[in-house]
Chains A and B, each alone.
Chain A
Amino acid sequence: MQSDHLLFMKQITKRFNGVPVLTDVDFSLFGGEVHVLVGENGAGKSTLMNILTGSVRADEGELWLDGQKADIRTPADARALGIEIVHQELMLAPHLSVAENIYLGKEPLGAFGKIDWKRLNSDAARLLEELHIQLDVHTQVKALTVAQRQLVEIAKVLSQNPKLLILDEPTSALTESETDLLLQRVELLKERGIGIVYISHKMDEITRIADRATVLRDGRYIGTLDREEIEIQKIIEMMVGRKDVIDYHRRHEFSNEPVLEVRGLSNHTIRDIGFTLHRGEILGIAGLMGSGRSETARAIFGIDKVERGEIFLDGKQVHITHPRKAIRHRMGFAPEDRKDQALFLRMALWPNISISRIFKNKWGIRDIRGEKKLAEEYRQKLRIRTTGIYQTVQRLSGGNQQKAVIARWLATDPKILILDEPTRGIDVGAKTEIYELLSELTDKGVSVIVISSELHELLAVADRILVMCEGRITGELQHSEFSQEKIMSYAVGHTMEVIV
């Protein structure tokens, strides 16, 4: 049965540092087919495609191409077999022309190894024509719209005559009419017999172009739907599954006293964000990657510029233009990327914990003994497992690193704590500890905002959930209304009517 498939991936398994990211995943593709791959962030889509394109090697499993077993070790191997990918982030050289970009690194050569510009430009023009793309091949890429660049990127990989093309969220930055244009081109490629793997979160696109759709969840194969079976609700159900509920319970009680009010907050990534955070509340923010979750937190904390909108703390309007001001207002923020944005990896644990507290020093003279005592106190409180406060942070495990970041903020005695992906890459034990810590904090009257891609985490921890999509808040769920399906449908930009 493998023989009539263009691609057949069988029981692919991959672990990173012993943690399985793909377990026995099957995936197949016919020539001239659009096969949509869906799943939440971290479901394993990217890893599967990285295995196919040779940038990651599978630990177990087989890969068949055109009925023959293929061994793809490097990206060059994948290329040689006719596999091409268009990444979500475009990789064009902005100062080169369209034609130069299309043939970058494989320019047609004339006599004496000189680039044959005439042929390069005419080949590029023909390629664009075949795709019905009206573009002057001499235009510099930086002058193009995102949609046009996307098309150039597709033309670029097509110049290699691929048999199999992977499109990774190609419409994430496109408007609706641009999306239409792109999808028409995808149809053209289908007619040419190219097999297309199409990764997308956008449900309406999936129903429009998919011949089949495969859902992954937590690195496992959930199922494949044929064209006539594809329904948005069904896909969402498969995406979220019935996950094991985290063994953790909160009282979900908080006061009505507003602590933080945000009104109409906007900048280049978020639009009209408005919500209220109450004393002792855990407010969850859900949304897919790029929905503006982190950007909302960054804007509130004074990291990114705010163009419009107002922020009130305890009823008083504040202007937070730098994290330092946020800290003065007794806010804390543990960012998404611990290593790049929060930790001083080559330094010991203790200054990592005490840093945000030393602003209070008189005359700028440090009380080093006090700092160390503080660090030791919070190390014990949060049960950070180390050889001591002198251990460098880069030697700590992910969970303990995260605890160090949280310790830093707790040491400042915050009223509002914003945690972006607080449990990413952390083992289950540490996760539960962090959840319990949040409960304890709210009992003491601290208000917490938790941003997370893991829905079951938000469902377990949050008292209320905001859902974001494309920079806006698209839904708000009270605790009694919590369901993964509802969150997911808001997160993909669908209103409830479509679902029910």
Chain B
Amino acid sequence: MNSRLTLPQTQVTKHFSSFGIWFILLLIVVVMGMASDVFLSPSNIINILRQTAIVGILAVGMTFVIIGANIDLSVGATIAFSAVIAISLQPVGLSSAVAAILIPLAAGMAVGAVNGILVGYFKLNTFIATLGMQFVVLGGTLLFTGGQHVWVFDSYPVFEKIGNGFLGPIPISVILLISIVVLGQFLLSFTNFGQYLKMSGENPEAARLSGICVEKVIFLSFLLVGLCAGLGGVVLASWVKNMDPGTGIGYEFEAITAVVLGGTSLLGGQGNATNTFAGALILVIIGNAMTLLNISYHYQLMVRGIIIIAAVSLEIASRRKSK
């Protein structure tokens, strides 16, 4: 009857649902700024951004996998795998700074490639395949380190910069993160691959009949998340320089939460790397805020669990409404 009248409204709500996460982020920042005087201090902001760098890089990769209607539970193990390799390649023997960066990246991509072959080509259940890989990679890391901590005191200067350097006031890791977000968003919005991925996630049968090589597209999405995990590992290694081989576990959960908070549908087919970035920021800020407010770690864990459940519930509720 009054479709002309309702159209602008739906357009507004649509815009809110696509950028609403940034308003929520703003709200949290304002509230926290008032609740704690440390929160908006430069050192805390830089701390938040640096923490976001690793989760964010992972989450951008995870966005691709989830848009393809899959999930990757192995990224946490992969990030540790990559970090441990990066540390062990620090000034010893014939190594070089370039190798110390490229080899961990390649290791991450190798894990992604295996996941991609298992899920994309062999059509294995994505949860089971990547859960299995989580254990394979974790086992591999422990084997590599002999179960011991690895650390380095003097890393290559270039390598050192990745996690600790600044460009003006901005940490280099954050610049890396933003580049990954921009690149990810570009891939999703402006390339054939991004469109194929969305369509493969939305309706794989229709995608295939439209000429899309769904297997290859899914494979590439896992390769990308592997690369992101590799890069996350390099950043982590450069930053902490001291790794327990088991540290990575848990990152996959944070990455998935960030993606879901960013509004990417777990059913696949649609998603957005920029909003994933906002999701990652929210997640890190909430953790940071709870620490500043002296909330114990046990409660923090529970809050994180509740956040992901609430985000998924919201998505399902909004989908019901649009139907």
User: Which residues of A are in contact with B by a Cβ distance under 8 Å?
Assistant: 301, 303, 322-324, 326-327, 333, 335, 340-347, 351, 355-356, 358-359, 361, 364-366, 368, 387, 408
Residues 198-241 (chain B) with a chain A CB within 8 angstroms: 198-199, 202-203, 205-213
Q: B3 contacts which chain A residues (CB < 8 A)? A: 387
* Separation of A364 and B193 alpha carbons in the complex (Å): 7
From A323, A361, A387, contact of B209 by CB (8 A): A323
Complex: A351 Cα to B198 Cα, angstroms: 11
Tell me whether A323 and B195 are in contact (CB under 8 A). no
Cα–Cα distance between A355 and B203 once the two chains are bound (Å): 13
- Any chain A CB within 8 A of the CB of B191? yes
* Chain A residues within an 8 Å CB radius of B193: 364
Q: Given known contacts A346-B202, A365-B190, is B209 in contact with A355 (CB within 8 Å)?
A: no
Contacts of B199 in A (CB 8 A): 344, 347, 351, 355
CB proximity of A140 to chain B, nearest CB, Å: 25
Report yes or no: B208 in contact with A366, Cβ–Cβ below 8 A: no
Mark B residues whose CB is within 8 Å of A.
3, 7, 190-193, 195, 198-199, 202-203, 205-213, 269-270
B7 touches A387 (CB 8 A): yes
Cross-interface CB contact of A347 among B190, B192, B198, B213, cutoff 8 Å: B198
Closest chain A residue, CB of each to CB of B200: A344
Q: Report whether A343 and B7 are in contact in the complex, using a CB–CB cutoff of 8 Å.
A: no
Contact B209 A358 (CB under 8 A): no
* Minimum C-beta distance from B264 to chain A (A): 13
Once the chains bind, are B210 and A356 in contact (CB under 8 Å)?
A: yes
Q: Give the 3 A-B residue pairs with the shortest CB-CB distance, closest first.
A: A324-B211, A364-B192, A327-B211
Quote the shortest CB–CB distance from A357 to chain B (angstroms): 10
Report chain B residues within 8 Å CB of A351: 195, 199
Least CB distance from B12 to A in Å reads 14
A347-B269, A365-B191, A366-B191 known; A359-B202 Cβ under 8 A: no
| Residue of B with least CB distance to A366 | B190
What's the nearest-Cβ distance from chain A to residue B184, in Å? Answer: 15
B192→A324 contact, CB < 8 A: no
Given A344-B199, A347-B202, do A366 and B209 touch, yes or no (CB 8 Å)? Answer: no
Residue in B3, B7, B191 with the greatest tally of chain A CB atoms within 10 Å: B191
The interface residues of chain A lying within 8 Å CB-to-CB of B190 are: 365-366, 368
Residues on B with beta carbons closer than 8 Å to the beta carbon of A361: 192
* A344 and B192 contact, CB distance less than 8 A: no
Partner of A366, one of B195, B210, B269, B270: B195
For A344, give its contact among B191, B202, B211, B213 (CB under 8 Å). Answer: B202
Residue pair A346, B213 in contact (C-beta under 8 Å): no
Q: Give A55 Cβ to nearest chain B Cβ, in Å.
A: 23
Assess whether B203 is in contact with A324, with CB atoms less than 8 Å apart.
no
Q: Which residues of B contact A366 (CB under 8 A)?
A: 190-192, 195
Q: In whole Å, how far is A21's beta carbon from the nearest beta carbon of chain B?
A: 24
| A340 B205 Cβ-Cβ under 8 A | yes
Can you spell out 17 A-B residue pairs with CB atoms less than 8 angstroms apart? A322-B208, A323-B208, A323-B211, A326-B211, A340-B206, A341-B206, A341-B209, A342-B209, A344-B202, A346-B202, A346-B270, A347-B199, A355-B195, A355-B212, A361-B192, A387-B7, A408-B210
* Residues of A close to B213: CB separation below 8 A: 322, 324
Least CB distance, B199 to chain A, in whole angstroms: 5
B190 nearest in chain A by CB position: A366
Distance of B207 from chain A, by nearest CB (Å)? 8
Question: Can you add 9 more A-B contacts, CB < 8 Å, to A342-B206, A365-B190?
Answer: A303-B208, A324-B211, A324-B212, A343-B206, A344-B198, A351-B199, A361-B192, A364-B191, A364-B193
Cβ 8 A contact of A359, one of B205, B208, B211, B270: B211
How many whole Å from A97's CB to the nearest CB in chain B? 28
Of all chain A residues, which has the CB nearest B192? A364
Q: How far is the CB of B123 from chain A (nearest CB, A)?
A: 16
Complex Cα gap A216–B137 (Å):
63
Asked if A303 contacts B209 (CB within 8 A), the reply is yes
Query: Nearest-CB distance from B104 to chain A (Å)?
Result: 27
Q: Which residues of A contact B208 (CB under 8 A)?
A: 303, 322-323
Q: Which residue of A lies closest to B265 (CB)?
A: A346
Give the chain A neighbours of B191 by CB distance below 8 A. Answer: 364-366
How distant is the Cα of A333 from the Cα of B206 in the complex, in angstroms? 11
From A322, A327, A344, A355, residue with most partner B Cβ within 10 Å: A344
Residue picked from B3, B195, B202, B213, most chain A C-beta under 10 Å: B195
Q: Once bound together, how far apart are the Cα atoms of A335 and B205, in whole Å?
A: 11
Q: Residues of A contacting B269 with CB < 8 Å?
A: 344, 346-347
Q: How far is the CA of A333 from the CA of B205 in the complex (A)?
A: 13
Chain A nearest CB, measured from B212 CB (Å) = 7
Task: Point out the residues of chain A lying under 8 angstroms from B203, CB to CB.
Answer: 340, 343-345
Q: Distance in Å from the Cβ of A204 to the closest Cβ of chain B? A: 37
CB distance from B148 to the nearest CB of A (A): 45
A301, A303, A366 — which one has the most chain B CB atoms within 10 A of its CB?
A: A366
Bound-complex Cα distance A323 to B193 (A): 17
Q: Provide the bound-state CA to CA distance between A346 and B264, in Å.
A: 13
Q: Which residue of B lies closest to A333 (CB)?
A: B209
Residues of A within 8 A of B212 (CB): 324, 355
- B210 proximity list for chain A (CB < 8 A): 323, 342, 355-356, 408
Residues of B within 8 A of A344 (CB): 198-199, 202-203, 206-207, 269
B147 to chain A, nearest CB (A): 42
Bound CA–CA A358/B206 (angstroms): 15
Select from chain A the residue with minimum beta-carbon distance to B186.
Answer: A365
What residue of chain A has the Cβ atom nearest to residue B3's Cβ? A387
Q: In whole angstroms, how far apart are the Cα atoms of A355 and B211 in the complex?
A: 9
CA distance A365 to B190 in the complex (A): 6
Q: How far is the CB of B198 from chain A (nearest CB, A)?
A: 7
Q: In this complex, what residue of A is CB-closest to B208?
A: A323
Complex Cα distance, B203 from A301, in Å, reads 18
- Given the complex of chains A and B, what is the CA–CA distance between A361 and B209 in angstroms? 19
- A351 to B190: give the CA distance in the assembly, Å: 12
CA separation between A341 and B212, bound complex, in Å?
Answer: 13
Closest to A323 in B: B211
Using Cβ atoms and an 8 Å threshold, which residues of chain A touch B198?
344, 347
Chain B residues positioned under 8 Å from A324 (CB to CB): 211-213
- Contact residues in B for A355 (Cβ distance below 8 Å): 195, 199, 210-212
Residues of A near B195 (CB, < 8 A) are 351, 355, 358, 366
Could you tell me the distance in whole angstroms from the C-beta of A346 to the nearest C-beta in chain B?
Answer: 6
Chain B residue contacts of A359, Cβ below 8 A: 192, 211
Q: Which residue of B lies closest to A342 (CB)?
A: B206
A19 CB to closest chain B CB (Å) equals 21
Expressed in whole angstroms, the Cα–Cα distance for A301 and B208 within the complex equals 11
Task: Please give, as numbers and ranges, the residues of chain A lying within 8 Å of B270 by CB-CB distance.
Answer: 346-347
CA distance A435 to B211 in the complex (A): 26
Distance, CA A356 to CA B206, complexed state (A): 11
Q: How far is the CB of A401 from chain B (nearest CB, A)?
A: 12
The distance in angstroms between the C-alpha atoms of A361 and B202, with both chains bound, is 22
Residues of B within 8 A of A347 (CB): 198-199, 202, 269-270
Q: Which residues of B contact A368 (CB under 8 A)?
A: 190
Q: Which residues of B lie under 8 Å from residue A340 when comparing CB positions?
A: 203, 205-206
Q: Which residues of B contact A301 (CB under 8 A)?
A: 209
Which A-chain residue is minimally distant from B193 (CB atoms)?
Answer: A364
CB distance from B213 to the nearest CB of A (A): 6
A136 CB to nearest B CB, Å:
35
Once bound together, how far apart are the Cα atoms of A466 and B211, in whole Å? 27
